[in-house]
Amino acid sequence: MSGEMETGVSPAVGSSRWQRVGPIVTLLLLSPVIGEVMSGATRLSYIFVLLPEIMVWGCGTLIIREVVRRWQGGWTSTLLFGFGLSVAEEFIIQQTSIAPLPWLGTVPAYGRVWGINWPYFLFMLGYEAVWIVLVPIQVTELLFPERRHQAWLRTRGMVVASAVFLLGSFLAWFLWTQRARPLAFHVPVYHPPILTVLIGVLAITFLAVGAYAVRQSWSEPSPGRPPRPWIVAVTSVLLGLPWYSLMALVFGPALKPPLLVPVVMATAWAAAVFFLIKHWSLTSEWRDMHRWALCFGALLVCMLGGFLGANSWSLMDIVAKAVLNVIGIVCMIRLAVRIARRSVA
Answer yes or no: is pLDDT of 329 > 60: yes
* CA neighbours closer than 13 Å in the CB half-sphere of residue 48: 4
Tens digit of each residue's pLDDT (9 = 90 or more) over 49-60 = 999 999 999 999
Residue 15 banded pLDDT, cuts 50, 70, 90: low
Strands annotated E in the chain: 112-113, 116-117
Predicted confidence (pLDDT) per residue in 145-159, tens digit:
999 999 999 999 999
Question: pLDDT tens across 217-253, in order?
Answer: 877 778 889 999 999 999 999 999 999 999 989 888 7
> Can you tell me the mean pLDDT for 301-328?
93
Residue 201 has pLDDT above 60, yes or no: yes
**170-197: per-residue pLDDT in tens?**
999 999 999 999 988 888 899 999 999 9
| pLDDT mean over 16-40 | 93
Residue 117: strand pairing partners: 112
**126-132: average pLDDT:** 98
Is pLDDT above 50 for 6? Answer: no
- Can you give the pLDDT at residue 7? 43
pLDDT in tens, 262-300: 999 999 999 999 999 999 999 989 999 999 999 999 999
Confidence class for position 1, pLDDT limits 50, 70, 90:
low
By three-state DSSP, how is residue 144 classified? Answer: coil
pLDDT of residue 105: 64
Mean pLDDT of 18-26: 91
Mean pLDDT for the stretch of residues 101-128: 87
Give the percent of the chain with pLDDT over 70.
Answer: 94
Q: What is the pLDDT of residue 9?
A: 47
Q: Tell me, what's the pLDDT at 238?
A: 97
Q: Give me the pLDDT at residue 128, please.
A: 98
Q: What was the pLDDT predicted at 137?
A: 98
For residue 229, give every residue at least 6 positions away whose Cβ sits within 8 Å of its Cβ, in sequence order, or none. 289, 290, 292, 293
CA 28 to chain centre: 12
* In the chain, domain spans: 17-344
Position 309 scores a pLDDT of 82
Give pLDDT, residue 93.
96
Strands 112-113, 116-117: pairing is antiparallel
Residues in the chain: 345
Q: Percentage of residues in the chain with pLDDT exceeding 90?
A: 79
Report DSSP letters for 250-272, one per residue.
HHS-SPPPPTHHHHHHHHHHHHH
Q: What is the mean pLDDT of the chain?
A: 91
- Given this model, what pLDDT does residue 134 score? 98
